[in-house]
């Protein structure tokens, strides 16, 4: 007899079927193979004590501070640990408990029913001359050539913008923005490139967005996070998808000492509010994409926390986008110029995909296609 420890198994049901496990046991065993962790903020002390006992009774665990048993404080932060099967049991068991545990049960059910989306690559084209990475700047015919290269290299979405959103970037008039992007839109429409890929307009200017949508673009990438109702209404009118990004401040102010009490809670609350706003105006959740805004009003620590816990944002039922391509967070970990940050970009994006991101926004499409293909084979 030989024994060896297994690494990560992505498709647990497939692994069990390959072992020729009886069909009825595959689903049951697969749930026992997936270990989940949930951070609970400000859980009422009586609820923490009840949940601790309920978790232990089924073989799960609730990690709590030492003062919980003595009820020294009214609320505590806790970590719930268990398999998917444990969480299913608790999501039913806590429905009968007081002190807010019914809410805990409802939240667990949401996380247990999250939808999984296929991974897609979004290539970046900047129709301006001041984006932080010079390799992304293209105009008219050159942009079209690069778009075709990106599609051939594996991009299913092309994101085109005409205004830089780097920290401290200068504001641009709507007229200038449209003048920059219009020639590219016109060629995409005339050559029917929209039949080969999804085109996204990276803008928060209604006139520019409408011109792009009339040019057969079908995605709006709004770094202001749907702050303007007019943009939501345009998405509804044209049956387009809308990417809602979180940003603290504006591009001119966002990196001037960004701070949060809890970045996960605040970004999550932001998405919840903006999704409700979109749905009230007729935009379905299936047409909403969420972007946590890596580098947009965040410190290195905020960015790392969001990437490590990206799976959380799948609870909204929307696709989750990650965009850390060649950003300065890499330089803060290891000194590097924008031209030297491809390896760091790949590391961040692969981890984000492992943690739940389904759309990867990047400058280097071919390299990401190769890396993601290898990751898929290894999982």
Whether residue 132 has pLDDT greater than 80: no
Helix (H), strand (E) counts: the chain: 14, 11
* Whole-number pLDDT of residue 138: 66
* Whole-number pLDDT of residue 182: 94
Interval 94-107: pLDDT, tens: 999 999 999 999 99
Interval 295-313: pLDDT, tens: 999 999 999 999 999 999 9
Integer angstrom CA distances of residue 254 from 250, 258, 268, 297: 5, 7, 18, 4
Q: Are 313 and 356 in contact (CB under 8 A)?
A: yes
- The reply to whether 376 belongs to the active site is no
pTM: 0.91
* Whole-number pLDDT of residue 337: 96
Query: Per-residue pLDDT averaged across 119-146, rounded?
Result: 78
- The Cα–Cα gap between 87 and 36 comes to 8
- Measured CA angle at 109 (ends 305, 375), to 5 deg: 50
- The Cα–Cα gap between 183 and 212 comes to 11
Predicted confidence band at 125 (pLDDT cuts at 50, 70, 90)? very high
* Whole-number pLDDT of residue 98: 96
Choose between 4 and 53: higher pLDDT.
Answer: 53
Active-site position among 327, 332, 341, 351: 327
* Whole-number pLDDT of residue 151: 97
Q: Which residues pair with 365 in a beta bridge?
A: none
SS3 336: coil
- The reply to whether 52 belongs to the active site is no
* Whole-number pLDDT of residue 137: 64
Predicted confidence band at 6 (pLDDT cuts at 50, 70, 90)? confident
* Whole-number pLDDT of residue 378: 87
Q: Which among 84, 121, 13 has a CA at the least distance from the CA of 375?
A: 121
- The Cα–Cα gap between 62 and 53 comes to 8
* Whole-number pLDDT of residue 79: 97
The set of long-range contacts for 354-357, using a CB threshold of 8 Å and a minimum separation of 24, is: 354/379, 355/307, 355/308, 355/309, 355/310, 355/311, 356/310, 356/311, 356/312, 356/313, 356/314, 356/320, 357/119, 357/310, 357/320, 357/321, 357/322
Whether residue 128 has pLDDT greater than 80: no
Q: Are 353 and 307 in contact (CB under 8 A)?
A: no
Interval 64-104: pLDDT, tens: 999 899 989 999 999 999 999 999 999 999 999 999 999 99
Query: Per-residue pLDDT averaged across 338-357, rounded?
Result: 97
- The Cα–Cα gap between 258 and 156 comes to 33
Query: Per-residue pLDDT averaged across 223-237, rounded?
Result: 96
Whether residue 236 has pLDDT greater than 80: yes
Q: Which among 315, 269, 310 has a CA at the least distance from the CA of 291?
A: 310
Domains and CATH numbers, the chain: 34-112 (3.30.1370), 120-378 (3.20.20.20)
Residue with tokens 């299936």: 286
Predicted confidence band at 140 (pLDDT cuts at 50, 70, 90)? low
Q: Which among 372, 320, 364, 367 has a CA at the least distance from the CA of 146?
A: 364
* Whole-number pLDDT of residue 3: 78
Whether residue 124 has pLDDT greater than 80: yes
* Whole-number pLDDT of residue 92: 97
DSSP 314: G
Q: Are 288 and 242 in contact (CB under 8 A)?
A: yes
Chain mean pLDDT for the chain: 93
Cα of 246 vs its chain's centroid, Å: 10
Q: What percent of the chain has pLDDT over 70?
A: 97
Predicted confidence band at 240 (pLDDT cuts at 50, 70, 90)? very high
Interval 242-295: pLDDT, tens: 999 999 988 878 788 889 999 999 999 999 999 999 999 999 999 999 999 999
Cβ contacts of 161 within 8 Å, gap of 6 or more: 124, 125, 126, 127, 128, 181, 201, 202, 203, 221
DSSP 170: P
Cβ contacts of 159 within 8 Å, gap of 6 or more: 122, 123, 124, 125, 200, 201, 202, 219, 221, 361
Task: Please state whether beta strands 219-222 and 241-245 pair in parallel, antiparallel, or not at all (unpaired).
Answer: parallel
Please report the sign of the dihedral spanned by the C-alpha atoms of residue 273, residue 162, residue 182, residue 151. Answer: negative
Query: Per-residue pLDDT averaged across 177-198, rounded?
Result: 95
Predicted confidence band at 1 (pLDDT cuts at 50, 70, 90)? confident
């Amino acid at each position: 007899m030989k024994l060896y420890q297994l690494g990560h198994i992505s498709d647990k049901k497939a692994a069990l079927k390959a072992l020729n496990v009886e069909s009825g046991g595959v689903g049951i065993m697969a749930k026992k193979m997936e270990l989940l962790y949930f951070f609970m903020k400000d859980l009422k002390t009586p609820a923490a004590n009840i949940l601790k006992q309920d978790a232990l009774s089924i073989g799960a665990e609730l990690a709590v501070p030492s003062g919980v048993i003595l009820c020294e404080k009214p609320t505590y932060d806790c970590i719930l640990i268990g398999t998917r099967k444990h969480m299913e049991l608790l999501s039913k068991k806590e429905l009968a408990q007081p002190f807010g545990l019914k809410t805990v049960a409802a939240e667990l059910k949401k996380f247990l029913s999250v939808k999984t989306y296929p991974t897609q690559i979004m290539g970046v084209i900047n129709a301006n001359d001041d984006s932080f990475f010079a390799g992304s700047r293209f105009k008219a015919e050159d942009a079209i050539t690069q778009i075709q290269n990106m599609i051939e290299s594996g991009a299913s979405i092309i994101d085109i913008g005409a205004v830089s959103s780097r920290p401290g970037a200068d504001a641009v008039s709507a007229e200038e923005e449209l003048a920059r992007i219009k020639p590219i839109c016109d060629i995409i429409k005339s050559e029917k490139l929209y039949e080969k890929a999804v085109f996204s307009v990276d803008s928060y200017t209604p006139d520019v967005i409408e011109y792009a949508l009339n040019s057969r673009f079908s995605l709006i990438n709004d770094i202001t996070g749907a702050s303007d109702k007019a943009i939501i209404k345009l998405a509804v009118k044209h049956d387009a998808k809308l990417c809602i990004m979180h940003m603290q401040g504006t591009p001119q102010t966002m990196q001037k000492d960004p701070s949060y009490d809890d970045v996960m809670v605040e970004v999550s609350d932001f998405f919840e509010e903006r999704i409700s706003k979109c749905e009230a105006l007729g935009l379905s959740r299936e047409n909403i994409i969420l972007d946590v805004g890596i580098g947009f009003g965040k410190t290195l620590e905020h960015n790392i926390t969001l990437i490590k816990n990206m799976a959380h944002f799948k609870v909204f039922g929307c696709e989750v986008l990650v965009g850390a391509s060649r950003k300065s967070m890499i330089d803060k970990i290891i000194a590097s110029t924008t031209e030297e940050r491809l390896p760091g970009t790949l590391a961040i994006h692969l981890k984000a995909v492992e943690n739940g991101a389904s759309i990867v926004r990047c400058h280097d499409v071919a390299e990401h296609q190769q890396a993601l293909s290898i990751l898929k084979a290894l999982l």
